[in-house]
Amino acid sequence: MDNPVPLQLDGRGPLHAQLTRALKEALAGGRFGHGGRLPPTRRLARELGVSRNTVLAAYEQLRAERLVQARVGSGTRATVARAVPGAATPEPFTSRPQSAFARRGRAVHDPDAPAPGRTRPGTRYPFQYGLPLVEPALTSAWARELSRAAAYTSPNYPGAQGLPRLREAVCDYLARRRGVLASPGDVLIVGGTQQAVSLAATVLLDPGDAVAIEDPQYATLRKQLQLHGARLHGVPVDDDGLRCDALPAQSPKLVCVTPSHQFPTGALLSLPRRQALLDYAREHRSWILEDDYDGEFRYDRAFVPALRSLDRDGRVLYVGSFSKTLFPSLRLGYLVMPPSLRRDLLTAKWAQDFGSSAIEQAALAAFMESGAFERHLRRSTQTLRERRLVLLHGLRAMAGGRIEVRDSQAGMHLVAWIRGLSAEATPRLVERGAALGLGLHAVDPHYLSPPEGCGLLMGYCGLSTAQLREALPLLERCLRAEG
């Protein structure tokens, strides 16, 4: 082959991947024919203006997929047959959903759509909820523990329930910080809150079963339940948390709550309502899923005991996560199981993944046993307290007092309501902010029925106090432009 090979790189991804795709198209189109010789690597690299290593990597990928064969003295040759000239191109195969779960999934979630609540790349001031608190000391300490764990952890499959050492550390922590008394046998290590909800739904729900959820609530929880076919009943929330008097008269299989810091409003479920909810679960033979997603971060008191600490009937599934206390990429959390559900939950966990990563579990256990985890929590709480105060003072001082904020004295976010603006104005406000480098997010997606007013869910974990002071005047400019 003396003539140049007409290959077009598509510009997507690494050069060797682009070249591999271009060569596959040429092979599929019969450009080389069965047994045809591909150009020498040096010549092709020269023609395309890439390094020879790029061509070698592409050829190696084709060999791995058995599309070409390399022999000493004869070069690299095609092993696929020539395409039939004039043959009709087959229509791309489009599958129909193969199960009820798949049909629900297509209705509920688009994996290719931008995730709601995520800030656009390059945004200078992201008020995104759920961003990790960047702390160099944590990064260094975690790297050390992870390195030790990788060297000493057994390479075999971990037990599905989780490493005993980590479950013991979780029990010790919960007893001191959350008022939850549990044994290691009660604790199941999971891949974050998402998996905990999925396991609970798998064990407790059949399609069509009723589930009571807070309104508003964490939108991802709602999706997870819908994927399992739950019939959702929204229960309103006020300043004292879930309104137990509005719970459905017909018994739901499950009630999902965030009692220590209601998401997103920040309300704390009062003690009378906690007892009323437990009584309701007993009377209706319902289960309660308690999501304690950021109960560690309180600024007005040492801690608020978890709802599980009051449970005397074994009706509460308590879920905790390290996504907020450490970082979301860790993908570890825990589920304190009611005794009567222990066997079923362990089976569901085993069926999903055989158990969470043992190396990360071992590193986390050592991190907690050394006291480094709680030292990190103390530092983080102080940092978040400072950021929250800067944001609160700035919001209350701007735009002639047009912003109403409920100060929950907890967590990593708050909700700001803008007086005089309707819900229809929220998208405009978000776009105005984006033009100035602000990552603003509407609170609407977390409501079953859209709220009447204009509300912003504002996370402050990912912004320093200096960045918050720079961002607040930009937000005020957006508000003044709205009138």
Q: Note the pLDDT tens digit of each residue in 255-264.
A: 999 999 999 9
Tens of pLDDT, residues 406-418:
877 888 999 999 9
Whether 213 is in a domain gets the answer yes
Q: Provide mean pLDDT across the span 462-483.
A: 91
Residue 84 has pLDDT above 60, yes or no: no
Tens of pLDDT, residues 331-343:
999 999 999 999 9
> Does residue 324 share a domain with residue 189?
yes
> CA-CA distance, 204 to 108, in Å (whole number)?
20
E-state strands within 29-186? 68-71, 75-78, 125-126
Residue 466 has pLDDT above 80, yes or no: yes
> Does residue 425 share a domain with residue 320?
no
Residue 90 has pLDDT above 60, yes or no: no
Q: In the chain, helix, strand, coil percent, each to 5?
A: 45, 15, 40
Output the average pLDDT for the chain.
89
User: Which of the four pLDDT bands, split at 50, 70 and 90, describes residue 87?
Assistant: very low
> Does residue 312 share a domain with residue 342?
yes
Q: Residue 3 has what pLDDT?
A: 56
Are 42 and 52 in contact by the 8 Å Cβ rule? The answer is yes
Sheet holding 453-459, edge to edge: 403-405, 413-422, 453-459
> Does residue 318 share a domain with residue 422?
no
Angle between helices 136-152 and 358-369 (to 10 degrees): 120
The residue count for the chain: 483
Residue 405 has pLDDT above 60, yes or no: yes
**Planar angle of CA 356, 360, 365, nearest 5 degrees:** 105
> In the numeric block, which tokens belong to residue 65?
């997929």
Higher per-residue pLDDT: 221 or 88? 221
User: Which of the four pLDDT bands, split at 50, 70 and 90, describes residue 399?
Assistant: low
Least confident residue range of 52-61, 82-91, 247-256, 376-385: 82-91
> Does residue 149 share a domain with residue 256?
yes
> Does residue 394 share a domain with residue 358?
no
% residues pLDDT > 70 (the chain): 94
> Does residue 438 share a domain with residue 398?
yes
Indicate the number of domains in the chain: 3
Whether 168 is in a domain gets the answer yes
Q: Residue 414 has what pLDDT?
A: 93
Question: What is the residue type of 103?
Answer: R
User: Which of the four pLDDT bands, split at 50, 70 and 90, describes residue 80?
Assistant: low
Query: Domain residues for 399?
Result: 122-132+376-482
Whether 422 is in a domain gets the answer yes
> Does residue 256 share a domain with residue 176?
yes
Q: Provide mean pLDDT across the span 250-276.
A: 95
Are 457 and 265 in contact by the 8 Å Cβ rule? The answer is no
Q: Provide mean pLDDT across the span 124-131.
A: 90
> Does residue 339 share a domain with residue 202?
yes
Residue 88 has pLDDT above 80, yes or no: no
Q: At 428, which CATH number?
A: 3.90.1150.10
3-state SS, residue 432 = helix
| Count of C-beta atoms within a 10 Å radius of residue 202 | 16
Q: Residue 95 has what pLDDT?
A: 64
CA atoms within 13 A on the CB side of 449: 6
